[in-house]
A and B are shown apart, each in its own frame.
Chain A
Amino acid sequence: MKIAVLIKQVPDTEEGRHLTSDGRADRDASDRVIDEITERALEAALKQKDADKSVEITVVTMGPAAANEALRKALSMGADKAVHVQDDALAGSDALATARALAQALSGLQADLIVAGNESTDGRGGVVPAMIAELLNLPFLGPLGTLEVSGGIVRGSRADASGTTALRASTPAVISVAEAMGEARFPKFKGILAAKRKPVAVQGAAELGLGAADHAAGNLVLASAARPARTAGVKIIDEGQAAQELAAYLAAEKLI
């Protein structure tokens, strides 16, 4: 079985978020890290490989040259090879342009399963995996909290406010994973040293057959504003009527 895992490098948001003046994520203002949800996506694939050594995992990213660090980390964790879609023409791609470029890169891999995180920490659009599935004309399952692949069928469960849904599809398929999929493993020393001997294929827009129309962003950021500072909350003092007031407040906020 061949599995492709989408990996993303993001600015470390632990210390806060920074935007450039044109509203893009400022990648120089914070440390660069591999997005944790994509590590979990890789972990889901590595578990398949733990059970069956013949599974081959290719990690795929689109990003600037520095995104290579995230691929190295993924390779050190146990992926076999990497594809790096890297082209200045692709900088600033929106979700659709990103999905087009990744779909092109993925179409050459003949993967039985394509695994992605459900949403990235920086953009949080949460739409790229489904767009890729649409572009490749593959079924999409996600966000999954569990994963099982056998006999050409991929199964998983998706939890949401109304309950848990059991999903299944025949492979090839695209899935996205939720936090619940479980924490990623640490790379081993040996994996770290082996990573630099694993192949990383760098592909530009032209090689992927992408024309200007494919990677032109379909939307334009005109302005961005920081989230307003937190204000003090509502205090209800109990003089016998607190329960009603609390219920009324929650109902007004559509929380109950």
Chain B
Amino acid sequence: MLELTEDQKALAEMVRDFATTRIAPNALDWDERQHFPVDVLAEAGQLGMGGIYAGEEFGGSALTRSDAILVFEELAKACPTISAYISIHNMVVWMIDHFGTPEQRAQWLPAMTAMQNLGSYCLTEPGIGSDAAALTTRARRDGDEYVLSGVKQFISGAGTSALYIVMARTEDTGARGISAFLVPGDSQGLSFGPNEKKMGWKAQPTRQVIMDGVRIPAGNLLGAEGQGFSMAMQALNGGRLNIAACSLGGGQHALEQSAAYLKERQAFGGPLTRQEALVFKLAEMDMGLEAARSLLRRAAAALDAKAPDRVRLCAMAKKVATDAGFEAANSAIQLHGGYGYLSDYGLEKIVRDLRVHQILEGTNEIMSLIVGRGLVDK
């Protein structure tokens, strides 16, 4: 399980080449200009990154979760923000591919697997984050249509996406009263808040999604009424693996840059690699990332195999890897001294980008809640 196959090595090599030539040279500029590179996303779509684990029928690549984490780690070495957005898009594509009717799949997937059209996942609301089952956005059936009203908060890709999967309440029965809807980006009554000013993830937009009596055909219900919360949570299992992989990629890049820097930087009559305390710090970063990577591979294999403990393992991997990635990136700044604090060195960007991975797709406290409740609720 821990050895990569020849195919996996070849997949990762291609993504590394793509990320090194098409993403890495622009990452700092996109961050500074808050530019969302939809053209480069479309190129990634051409190569198969728009539907990594969607079926081949409508343009997906039919890879496994174990393959996908390699893809996201390589992308994140070039830019965690772009990698993470591609993960969110894939989460949306997977929901349509996995839960959609043949008509829904045929309508939406071809342009989305090619990343000509982008997708957003809309669960969080201004008053509801971790306690997502308490969401209040309403969907009311009216003849052949549903009418949606409510506000979604922190929505990645909002304003640019062609499709929004919106989790909304169809009944007042807690998690079981939530349904998922396919809301086209050009729907009447759909509008977006301003692009949020934020610490990191600047190369992708984050906005409110505001629905004021948005009418969509009843055929845009995804799955059955009442299944929305369960589908949203299932999608998040994979999302957590990918976000974990994004953090490993950012952390790994920071580690490699630090090792190279310590070899070059001269102080006290020699390179900084002569300072054992600093080499130990590198070793600690490496150990943290490698331990997280092992757990992540195990969690991905569990999701591929639909193993009974997959939710627990995905939650563990998400917390362990996002913490390890952030720690490594933060240590990299310290190892670079003052230069680490300068934007041109790229490390402060990695720290800013990875910080949010500890917050979204379920905060790391919620990961502990999932793991901890499993221990005591038996």
Contact = CB atoms under 8 A, between A and B. Distances in A.
A193 interface: yes
B18 interface: yes
Interface stretch (B9-17, B119-127, B171-179): B9-17
Interface string B37-50: 00000000011110
Nearest to A189: B48
A50 to B, nearest CB: 12
Q: Which residue, B47, B56, B63, has most C-beta atoms of chain A within 10 A?
A: B47
B58 to A, nearest CB: 13
B7 interface: yes
A85 to B, nearest CB: 22
B263 to A, nearest CB: 14
A72 interface: yes
Nearest to B10: A192
A189 B11 contact: yes
Interface in A149-188: 186-188
Contact of A186 (B6, B7, B18): B18
Nearest to B22: A186
A190 interface: yes
Interface string B56-87: 10000101000000000000000000000000
A186 B46 CA distance: 10
B114 to A, nearest CB: 11
A24 interface: no
A17 B52 CA distance: 38
Contacts, number: 33
A188 B18 CA distance: 11
A190 B17 contact: no
Interface residues of A, number: 12
Interface in A62-87: 72-73, 76
A225 to B, nearest CB: 29
Contacts of B11: 189, 192
Contact of A196 (B7, B17, B46, B49): B7
Contacts of B49: 189
Contacts of B18: 186
A187 B46 CA distance: 10
Contacts of A195: 10
Contact of A76 (B10, B56, B63): B10
A73 B9 CA distance: 12
A190 B52 CA distance: 10
Nearest to B18: A186
Nearest to B17: A186
A190 B61 contact: yes
Nearest to A72: B10
A189 B49 CA distance: 8
B7 A193 contact: yes
B14 A187 contact: yes
Interface in A87-123: none
B14 A186 contact: yes
B17 A189 contact: no
B357 to A, nearest CB: 25
A119 to B, nearest CB: 22
Interface of B: 6-7, 10-11, 14, 17-18, 46-49, 52, 56, 61, 63
Interface of A: 72-73, 76, 186-190, 192-193, 195-196
Given A186-B17, A186-B18, 13 more contacts: A73-B10, A76-B10, A186-B47, A189-B47, A189-B48, A189-B49, A189-B61, A189-B63, A190-B48, A192-B7, A192-B14, A195-B10, A196-B6
25 contacts: A72-B10, A73-B10, A186-B14, A186-B47, A187-B10, A187-B14, A187-B47, A188-B46, A188-B47, A188-B48, A189-B14, A189-B47, A189-B48, A189-B49, A189-B52, A189-B61, A189-B63, A190-B48, A190-B56, A190-B61, A192-B10, A192-B11, A193-B7, A196-B6, A196-B7
